């Protein structure tokens, strides 16, 4: 097991785990937010535009945490500075 | 256990785990959103178009986190830069 | 333990785990959606067509995450690029 | 521990785990759906045919995820391509 | 530890685990369904026949997932193709 | 550690674990069903015969999953085909 | 570590674990059933005989799963066929 | 590590674990039953004798599962047939 | 690591674990019972003597399971038959 | 690693774990009891003396389980019979 | 790894774990008690002095379990009898 | 496994885990906050500006904890002082 | 791995774990207390000063458990007696 | 694996884990507090200034526990006394 293999394995496994674990709770949080939005619209149809607008801002905030994980995952696969250093050696 | 076998094993196992764990919570979040949509329609049938439209936007947002995981999984199986580098060596 | 055995074992175990874990939450999410649909129909029988239609779209979305896992599992068993590469060597 | 024994052990263990874990949540989801159907019938006996029909479609969808796991399990026991390749060697 | 012992051990342990884990959630799901049936009968005694009939169909569906696990378990003990292959060798 | 000792140990441990884990959820499910039956009788004393009859059928269904585990456990202790094969050798 | 010591250790540990894990959920299930019985009696004192009778039948069913575990535990300590076979050898 | 030490260690550890794990849920179940009894008495003071009597029978049933674990624990410490056999050898 | 050290270590660790795990749920169960007693007194001050008396009997029952664990723990520290046998040898 | 070091390490680790795990649930149980006492006083200020008295008896009972763990912990640090025996040797 | 290093490491790790785990539930229990106190004051402002007094006594009791853990932790760092014995040797 | 490989592996794995675990609860907390905001707007549409403003401040506070984790993760990948020291050696 | 490295590693890891685990529940407990304070103020605005004062005392008590963990963590990093002893040797 | 590598690895891993675990519950606690603030404003818009002020003080208290973890994490990366000592040696 040379250095290149080890760095590659660590990058592959971490990239997968980061995305999969990091996407769990945003999905649940968005589900909760959407569910609340729908029952709010049903309760107060006149406020639908305000509710929808607030929902989209909130979903964007929640999605941002999933994006962080996806970004870290992509960095580890396609722009990994440790991998660059090792294969350049 | 040479480098090729190790990279291949890590890719196979990570691809599977990423998809399976990453699809757990989106499914639960969508279930919660759909459940809320149905009870909202039952409560306010007149708002059905607004509710359905908001539901579909929300489901797309939630599904996107599952898509991230599926994409990472496919990258690891079919476009893995570490695997390409190893077998090219 | 040669390379072929290791790749085969990793593929078998990952294929099983991916399907089994990936099918847990879709089943729970669909159960929640169906349960909500039934109590909504009981509450507002006149909206049954709208509720049923929205339910089926939602179930399809939730089922899709289980399908992703099943697809990854089938790819690992019947169209595994790593296995193809190893036995071709 | 030769290759045949290892592949056989991995197939046996994975087949069992896949079915057992994969059947947990469908059973819970169906229980939730049936429970909701029964209380809906009690609340609105006139809508019993609609409720029953929607319940059966929903149960079929939920059962399908358990079927996926059972199918993967049966493939691993009776139509395992890795096992076929190893004993053919 | 020869091959026969290893296959036998894997079959014994997997058969037990499959049945025990696979029977957990069906039991809980059936308990939930029966509990809902009883409170539904108490609420609407006139709908008892419909409720009882729907309950039995639902219980059969839930029990089916436990049966899958029991079947896999029995296959591993009494009709294990890997065991047959090893002792035939 | 010869084969006989290993098969015996695996059988002992699996038999115990199978019964203990497999009896957890049936006990909880039956508790839930009985609890619901008692509050239903208190709410609608006139429907007691129907409730009691449905309860007993339901308890039998739930108990059946515990019986599966107990049966597998007894098979592993007293009618284990792998043990028979090993000590016959 | 000869065979007798290993079989004895496996039997001791399994006997203890089986009883302790197997008694967890029956105790919780009975607690739930008794709690429901008491609040039912408080709500409908006239139905006390019916409630008490149903409670005792239900407790007997729940206790039976704990008994299974205790029986397996006692078999492993005092009537263990594997231990009999080993010390007879 | 001779046989006597190993059997003694397994007995000590199992005896402790059996009692501690086996006493967890009975305590919680009894707490739930007592809590329900107290709120039932507060709700229907006239039914206090019936409630108290049913409570004591229920507590005895729940306590019995804790007693099973304590008995197994005492057997392992003071009447362990495996220990007797080993030190007699 | 001679026998005396091993038996001593197993006794120390088991004694601590038994008491700490065994005291978790009795504390929670008693908390639930006391909480219910207090709200019952607030709801029905006239029944305070009956409630208090039933509470104390219930607390004694719950405390008994903690006592079992403490007793086993004290036996393992101060009256351990295995330790006595080893140091007597 | 001589006997003295091993006994000392086991005593230190067990003493800490026993106190920390053993104090978790008493704290939660007392929190629940105090919370219930406060809402009971708010609901029925006239019954404050009875509630406070019952609360203190209950807190003492719950605290007793934490005391058991603290006592075992102190015995293991300052009056450990195994440590005494080893350093006396 | 000589004795001094091992005892020091065990003391450092145990001291940290004891405080951190032991402070979890007291914090949660106090949060629950304070939350209940605040809603009780809002509901019955006239009983604020009684509620506040009872709250402080309760908080002191709950804090005491955290103090036990902190004390054990400080003993292990600054007055550890095993450490004293080892470095005196 | 030289120092550079080990530091690189630790940095890669820690960077991924930090982001993925650290983004779980902020996503859930934001989901809860957004859900509450939407139902509050539906309940009191006139207070929408105040609710939205408070929501955004709260979301910023919650997001800040996810930012901390992302910052630590970026430091470990792109400005790791330990890595700088090792490769400078 | 000499003594200095081992003590340093144990101190670093324990300091981090102690602070992180020890800060989990205080944060949750404070969140619960603040949430209850806000809904209490909304329900009874006149009692705001009393509620705010009680809240701050309660927060201080809850924060104290987090402080204990932070103090232990700082002691392990900056005033570690074991580290002082080892580097003085 | 020399001392410098080990200290560096322990610092990297602990810094990441400390921040990620330590930020979980503050985020959840703040989410709960913000959610309660929003529903309180919706219920009592006149008390918005008091609610907002109390919310911000509460958020600061909760955020402080996350800050502790971030501070410990930064100390371990940029002002680690153990690292300073090792590289100075």
Residue I13 with chain J: CB contacts under 8 Å: 10, 13-14
Whether pLDDT at F89 is above 80 = no
N26 to M25: CB separation less than 8 angstroms, yes or no: no
Whether pLDDT at L84 is above 70 = yes
Whether pLDDT at J30 is above 90 = yes
**The pair of three-digit structure tokens given for residue B35, joined into one six-digit string:** 């459940």
Place of tokens 């009983």: K47
N60 to chain L, closest Cα gap in Å:
9
C62 to B31: CB separation less than 8 angstroms, yes or no: yes
Q: Find the mean pLDDT for residues F34-63.
A: 94
H or E element: which one contains K9?
A: helix K3-22
Q: Is the dihedral of CA D37, D40, D45, D49 positive or negative?
A: negative
Residues 6+ apart with CB under 8 A from A79: none
What pLDDT score does H48 carry? 92
Average pLDDT of the residues of chain A: 93
Ordered structural domains, chain K, with CATH: 8-88 (1.20.20.10)
Helices K81-88 and K3-22 cross at an angle (nearest 10°) of: 170
pLDDT tens digits for F17-43? 999 999 999 999 999 999 999 999 999
What pLDDT score does H37 carry? 95
C82 to B20: CB separation less than 8 angstroms, yes or no: no
Average pLDDT of the residues of chain L: 93
**The pair of three-digit structure tokens given for residue E69, joined into one six-digit string:** 């696990």
What pLDDT score does D1 carry? 63
Whether pLDDT at B41 is above 90 = yes
Instruction: Indicate contact of L with N: 3+ CB pairs under 8 A.
Output: yes
Q: Find the mean pLDDT for residues I2-20.
A: 93
Nearest to I77 by CA among N48, L83, J18: J18
C79 to chain B, closest Cα gap in Å:
10
Give one word for N33, left, alpha or beta, with left for phi > 0 and alpha for psi -120 to 50: alpha
**The pair of three-digit structure tokens given for residue K51, joined into one six-digit string:** 């509620």
What is the distance between the alpha carbons of residues C10 and B77, in angstroms, rounded to a whole number? 13
D69 to C20: CB separation less than 8 angstroms, yes or no: yes
For residues D86 and C1, is the Cβ–Cβ distance under 8 A?
A: no
Q: Give the 3-state secondary structure of residue D18.
A: helix
Residues 6+ apart with CB under 8 A from L63: A61, A64, A65, L26, L30
Residue I44 with chain J: CB contacts under 8 Å: none
**The pair of three-digit structure tokens given for residue J77, joined into one six-digit string:** 């640090």
Residue C23 with chain D: CB contacts under 8 Å: 22, 25-26, 65-66, 68-69
For residues G68 and G22, is the Cβ–Cβ distance under 8 A?
A: yes
**The pair of three-digit structure tokens given for residue N28, joined into one six-digit string:** 């959840």
Average pLDDT of the residues of chain F: 93
Count of C-beta atoms within a 10 Å radius of residue E57: 15
pLDDT tens digits for L19-48? 999 999 999 999 999 999 999 999 999 999
Whether pLDDT at H89 is above 80 = no
Whether pLDDT at A11 is above 70 = yes
K7 to J2: CB separation less than 8 angstroms, yes or no: no
Nearest to B78 by CA among L16, C84, A22, A8: C84
pLDDT tens digits for B55-75? 999 999 999 999 999 999 999
What pLDDT score does H88 carry? 87
What pLDDT score does M1 carry? 62
Question: Which residues numbered 48-87 in I keep a CB inside 8 Å of some CB on H?
Answer: 50-51, 54-55, 57-59, 61-62, 64-66, 68-69, 72-73, 75-76, 80-82, 85-86
Interface residue K47 vs chain M (CB under 8 A): no
Count of C-beta atoms within a 10 Å radius of residue K56: 16
What pLDDT score does D2 carry? 84
What is the distance between the alpha carbons of residues A83 and D32, in angstroms, rounded to a whole number? 49
> Which residues in chain K belong to E strands, given as ranges?
none
Rg (CA), chain L: 20
Whether pLDDT at H1 is above 80 = no
- I1: confidence class by pLDDT, cuts 50, 70, 90: low
pLDDT tens digits for M48-83? 999 999 999 999 999 999 999 999 999 999 999 999
* DSSP code of residue N23: T
H helix count then E strand count, chain G: 4, 0
What pLDDT score does F2 carry? 84
What pLDDT score does A17 carry? 95
Residues of chain G with pLDDT under 70: 1
Q: Find the mean pLDDT for residues H30-53.
A: 94
pLDDT tens digits for D18-68? 999 999 999 999 999 999 999 999 999 999 999 999 999 999 999 999 999
What is the distance between the alpha carbons of residues J7 and J15, in angstroms, rounded to a whole number? 12
Residue E29 with chain F: CB contacts under 8 Å: 29
Whether pLDDT at H36 is above 80 = yes
pLDDT > 70 fraction of chain H, expressed in percent and rounded: 99
User: Which residue of chain E has the CA closest to D59?
Assistant: E61
Average pLDDT of the residues of chain B: 93
> Torsion over CA of C74, C78, C79 and C81, rounded to 10 degrees?
110
What pLDDT score does K88 carry? 87
| DSSP codes of every residue in E6-45 | HHHHHHHHHHHHHHHHHTHHHHHHHHHHHHHHHHHHHH-G
Residues of chain K with pLDDT under 50: none
Count of C-beta atoms within a 10 Å radius of residue H2: 12
Residues of chain C with pLDDT under 70: 1
Average pLDDT of the residues of chain N: 93
**The pair of three-digit structure tokens given for residue B24, joined into one six-digit string:** 């757990």
What pLDDT score does N1 carry? 62
I32 to chain J, closest Cα gap in Å:
7
pLDDT tens digits for N37-77? 999 999 999 999 999 999 999 999 999 999 999 999 999 99
F80 to chain E, closest Cα gap in Å:
8
> Torsion over CA of E21, E17, D59 and B25, rounded to 10 degrees?
60
- A89: confidence class by pLDDT, cuts 50, 70, 90: confident
Who wins on pLDDT, N2 or E24? E24
What is the distance between the alpha carbons of residues B18 and C18, in angstroms, rounded to a whole number? 9
Whether pLDDT at N2 is above 90 = no
What pLDDT score does C88 carry? 87
Nearest to H65 by CA among F18, I63, G67, G56: G67
In angstroms, the Cα distances linking J52 to D84, J36, J46, L45 are: 74, 11, 11, 44
What is the distance between the alpha carbons of residues C48 and D49, in angstroms, rounded to a whole number? 12
Whether pLDDT at A2 is above 90 = no
Q: Find the mean pLDDT for residues H68-83.
A: 94
Whether pLDDT at B16 is above 80 = yes
A29: number of CA atoms within 13 Å, CB side?
34
Instruction: Indicate contact of A with D: 3+ CB pairs under 8 A.
Output: no
What pLDDT score does G88 carry? 87
Residue B20 with chain A: CB contacts under 8 Å: 20
Whether pLDDT at L55 is above 70 = yes
What pLDDT score does M88 carry? 87
Phi, psi torsion values for D2, nearest 5 degrees? -85, 175
């Amino acid at each position: 097991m040379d250095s290149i293999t080890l760095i590659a394995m660590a990058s592959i496994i971490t990239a997968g785990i980061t995305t999969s674990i990091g996407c769990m709770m945003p999905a649940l949080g968005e589900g909760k937010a959407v569910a609340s939005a729908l029952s709010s619209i049903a309760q107060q149809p006149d406020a639908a535009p305000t509710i929808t607008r607030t929902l989209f801002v909130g979903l964007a905030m929640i999605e941002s945490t999933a994006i962080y994980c996806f970004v870290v995952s992509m960095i580890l696969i396609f722009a990994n500075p440790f991998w660059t250093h090792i294969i350049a050696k």
